[in-house]
Structure 1
Amino acid sequence: MTLHGMKTLLAAGAATLALTPAFAEPADYILATASTGGTYYPVGVALATLTKVKLQPGEEIGMSAISSAGSGENIRLLRENEAQFAILQGLFGYYAATGTGPLEADGPQEELRSVTMLWQNVEHFILDSDRVDTGTIADFAGLTGEPMALGRRNSGTIGSNAAILGGFDVDIYADYELIEGGYGPSAESLQNGQSVGISTPAGVPVGAVSQLFASVGDSVTLLNFTPEQMTQADGGRQLWTEYVIEAGTYPGQDEAVTTIAQPNFLATRADLPDENVYLITKTIYENLPFLQAIHPATQAMAIEQAIAGLPLPLHPGAIQYYEEVGVEIPDRLRP
Structure 2
Amino acid sequence: MILKFLCTFLLLILSLTTILQASINPKKYVIATASTGGTFYPVGVGLAKLLSLKLNEKESMSFLAISSDGSFDNVRMLENKEVNFAMIQGLCGMMAWNGTHVYHNKPYKNLRSVSLLWQNVEHFMVRKEIATTGNILDLKNLYGQNFSMAENDSGSKVSAEIIMDTLGIDYTKMNLYYFGYNQSAVALQQGKIKGMNTPAGAPVAAVTSVCNAMGPLKVSLLEFSDIDLEKIQKQFPIWKRYVIKANTYPRQTKDINTIAQSNLLITDVDTPEDIVYLVTKTLYENLSFFNSVNKGTISLSLQNAIDGLNIPLHKGAIRYYQEMGITIPSHLLHVSP
**CA distance, structure 2, for counterparts of residue 303 and residue 93 of structure 1:** 20
**CA distance, structure 2, for counterparts of residue 222 and residue 127 of structure 1:** 7
CA separation of 1:132 and 1:249: change in aligned 2, threshold 3 A: same
Q: 1:47-66 residue pairs with structure 2 within 5 A? A: 47-66=47-66
* 8 Å CA contact 2:130, 2:141 repeated in 1: no
**Could you report, residue by residue, the CA deviation over 1:226-261 in whole angstroms, capped at 9, with x for unpaired residues?**
111112234522111001001111111111100000
**CA distance, structure 2, for counterparts of residue 32 and residue 60 of structure 1:** 21
| Pairing 1:81–2:81 present | yes
- Offset of 1:169 from its aligned partner? 2.3
- Offset of 1:294 from its aligned partner? 1.3
Q: Letter of the aligned partner of 2:283 in structure 1?
A: I
CA separation of 1:280 and 1:320: change in aligned 2, threshold 3 A: same
The residue that corresponds to 2:198 in the other structure is: 200
The residue that corresponds to 2:219 in the other structure is: 220
- Offset of 1:102 from its aligned partner? 1.3
The residue that corresponds to 2:163 in the other structure is: 164
The residue that corresponds to 1:21 in the other structure is: none
Q: 1:23-172 residue pairs with structure 2 within 5 A? A: 27-104=27-104, 107-172=106-171
The residue that corresponds to 1:319 in the other structure is: 318
The residue that corresponds to 1:187 in the other structure is: 185
* 8 Å CA contact 1:70, 1:88 repeated in 2: yes
| Pairing 1:250–2:254 present | no
* 8 Å CA contact 2:140, 2:170 repeated in 1: no
Structure 1 spans left out of the alignment, 5+ residues: 1-25
**Could you report, residue by residue, the CA deviation over 1:184-233 in whole angstroms, capped at 9, with x for unpaired residues?**
11112222222111111000101110110110112001111111111223
**CA distance, structure 2, for counterparts of residue 142 and residue 290 of structure 1:** 42
* TM-score of the superposed pair, with normalisation by structure 2: 0.89
**CA distance, structure 2, for counterparts of residue 235 and residue 264 of structure 1:** 20
Q: Letter of the aligned partner of 1:314 in structure 2?
A: L
- SS of 2:254's equivalent? coil
Q: Identity rate of aligned residues, in percent?
A: 43
The residue that corresponds to 1:4 in the other structure is: none
* 8 Å CA contact 1:165, 1:233 repeated in 2: no
**CA distance, structure 1, for counterparts of residue 44 and residue 245 of structure 2:** 25
**CA distance, structure 2, for counterparts of residue 169 and residue 145 of structure 1:** 16
**CA distance, structure 1, for counterparts of residue 133 and residue 233 of structure 2:** 20
| Pairing 1:303–2:287 present | no
- Offset of 1:38 from its aligned partner? 0.6
* 8 Å CA contact 1:119, 1:300 repeated in 2: yes
* 8 Å CA contact 2:276, 2:316 repeated in 1: yes
Q: Letter of the aligned partner of 2:326 in structure 1?
A: V
Flag as ranges the 4+ runs of structure 1 deviating above 4 A: none
Q: Letter of the aligned partner of 1:39 in structure 2?
A: T
RMSD: 1.2
User: What is the total number of aligned residue pairs between the two structures?
Assistant: 308
| Pairing 1:178–2:176 present | yes
**CA distance, structure 1, for counterparts of residue 215 and residue 257 of structure 2:** 19
Mean Cα deviation higher: 159-168 or 186-195: 186-195
The residue that corresponds to 1:288 in the other structure is: 287
